[in-house]
């Protein structure tokens, strides 16, 4: 360990004075301001190496040597949406031939299948479908928990929470309380993109506002429902807007302690209307590899010890890319997913599932300890650094996973799930 600390000191000495002073303060567990973090968004060479080394050291102190993952299934039950966000390639209108809608029986079938394969979490997010019953979200939670009481429901973005409250004629607080009573266990902190209303207006007019997003999140925390937190970057945001987003998350976390993790999400540009149709001349084709590295490292430094868990999304970065980020501040690889539609629709090419064996391999090759966790980051099983014969999971044994789980391309063509045939779950 003394050798590692000496290496860190050597890397810091090679950095410019201003960068070095900021990083040394972070290593002393003192706050880094968003203005200082903004300057770190431009570092290269020796300064970038020092930033990465500092983030890795802070990760070691705050999260240890474990690399965690969750066995879960993702269900995007509809791609039909009343909104048309410029960055979203997933959504379809209710008139689209590619609009689909999975009824409760199909969502339940997928949940049961996942549970039998060892999943401890069901993640549910979708479009905002028109002409559905006001009890849509509450009823779905209730039916799933009735059938699978031990399965954790991680579901419904703040945008969906707001929409569901409107459908049911209830306040945000009343709706979240009803969801919790029906079995909801936690909320994804998606639909955040960049928490700056000038950016949000350009990305998607009519999208949930920054204040509304914060209200949903804070209310959930007050009611005892934890949430994740996210950022989508690499499109039109400035460095200042990006780090102020992180600073806002830090402020909320210090007030509530309700965030379980932070998940940076790279903008996938290929099929996104924002880029493909040139809807905004200033849009970038996603972040560069250095942009991604810098943001993960800055997140570890700016968010501080209040955010123990930073997730590297293999869906966005690819398995090898996510593994590299384990040396830049990340300590979690996300989930097995089994299904993935939103990033796939945008042009991501990294697949829609990874078996637990592969996630453990990524951790081990990074020199770390694989740990299967639950949604709330409680350890379910810690694995040795060297594989053993008795650690296979049911998912590891599947030879026909892609055929069994199906793909987004197949789903939008399947007449059984066409939205026109079903107006509600």
Summarised one tens digit per residue, pLDDT across range 133-149 is: 999 999 999 999 999 99
Average pLDDT, the chain: 94
What percentage of the chain has pLDDT greater than the value 90? 84
Q: Is the pLDDT of residue 336 over 50?
A: yes
Nearest residue to 347 via CA among 278, 402, 288, 285 = 285
Instruction: Report pLDDT digits (tens) over 214-270.
Output: 999 999 999 999 999 999 999 999 999 999 999 999 999 999 999 999 999 999 999
| Backbone angles phi and psi of 242, in degrees to 5 | -65, -50
**Cα separation values, 401 from 77, 81, 110, 241, 404, Å:** 19, 29, 13, 40, 5
Element (DSSP H or E) covering residue 205: none
Q: Which distant-in-sequence residues (6+ apart) come within 8 Å of 41 by Cβ?
A: 239, 242, 243, 294, 295, 298
pTM of the model: 0.95
Instruction: Report pLDDT digits (tens) over 35-57.
Output: 999 999 999 999 999 999 999 99
pLDDT at 70: 98
Mean pLDDT along residues 327-332: 98
In the chain, the domains with their CATH numbers are 2-59 (no CATH), 65-421 (3.20.20.70)
β-pairing, 259-266 vs 227-233, is: parallel
pLDDT at 317: 95
DSSP state, residue 127: -
């Amino acid at each position: 360990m003394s050798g590692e600390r000496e290496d860190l000191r050597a890397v810091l000495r090679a950095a410019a004075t201003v960068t070095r002073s900021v990083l040394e303060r972070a290593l002393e567990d003192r706050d880094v301001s968003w203005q200082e973090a903004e300057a770190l968004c431009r570092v290269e060479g020796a300064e970038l190496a020092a930033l990465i080394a500092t983030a890795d050291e802070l990760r070691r102190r705050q999260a240890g040597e474990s690399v965690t993952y969750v066995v879960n299934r993702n269900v995007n039950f509809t791609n039909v949406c009343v909104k048309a966000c410029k960055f979203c390639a997933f959504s379809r209108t209710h008139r689209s031939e590619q609009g689909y809608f999975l009824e409760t029986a199909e969502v339940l079938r997928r949940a049961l299948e996942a549970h039998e394969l060892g999943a401890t979490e069901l993640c549910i997010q979708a479009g905002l479908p028109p002409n559905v019953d006001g009890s849509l979200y509450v009823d779905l939670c209730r039916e799933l928990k009735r059938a699978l009481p031990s399965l954790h429901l991680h579901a419904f973005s703040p945008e969906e929470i707001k929409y569901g409250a409107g459908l049911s004629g209830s306040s945000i607080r009343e709706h979240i309380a009803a969801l919790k009573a029906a079995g909801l266990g936690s909320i994804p902190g998606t639909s955040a993109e960049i928490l700056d209303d000038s950016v949000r207006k350009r990305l998607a007019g009519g999208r949930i506002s920054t204040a509304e997003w914060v209200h949903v999140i804070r209310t959930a925390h007050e009611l005892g429902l934890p949430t994740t937190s996210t950022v989508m970057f690499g499109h039109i945001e400035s460095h200042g807007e990006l780090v102020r987003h992180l600073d806002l998350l830090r402020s909320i976390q210090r007030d509530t302690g309700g965030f379980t993790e932070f998940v940076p999400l790279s903008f996938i540009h290929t099929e996104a209307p924002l880029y493909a149709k040139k809807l905004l001349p200033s849009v970038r084709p996603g972040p560069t590899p250095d942009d991604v590295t810098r943001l993960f490292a800055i997140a570890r430094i700016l968010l501080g010890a209040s955010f123990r868990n930073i997730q590297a999304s293999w869906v966005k970065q690819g398995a090898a890319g996510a593994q590299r980020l384990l040396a830049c501040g990340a300590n979690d690889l996300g989930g097995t997913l089994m299904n993935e539609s939103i990033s796939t629709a945008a042009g991501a090419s990294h697949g829609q599932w990874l078996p637990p064996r592969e996630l453990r391999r990524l951790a081990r090759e990074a020199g770390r300890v694989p740990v299967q966790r639950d949604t709330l980051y409680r350890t379910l099983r810690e694995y040795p650094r060297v594989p053993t014969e008795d650690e296979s999971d049911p998912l590891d044994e599947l030879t026909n996973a892609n055929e069994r789980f199906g793909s987004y391309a197949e789903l939008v063509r399947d007449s059984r799930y066409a939205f026109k045939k079903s107006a509600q779950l």
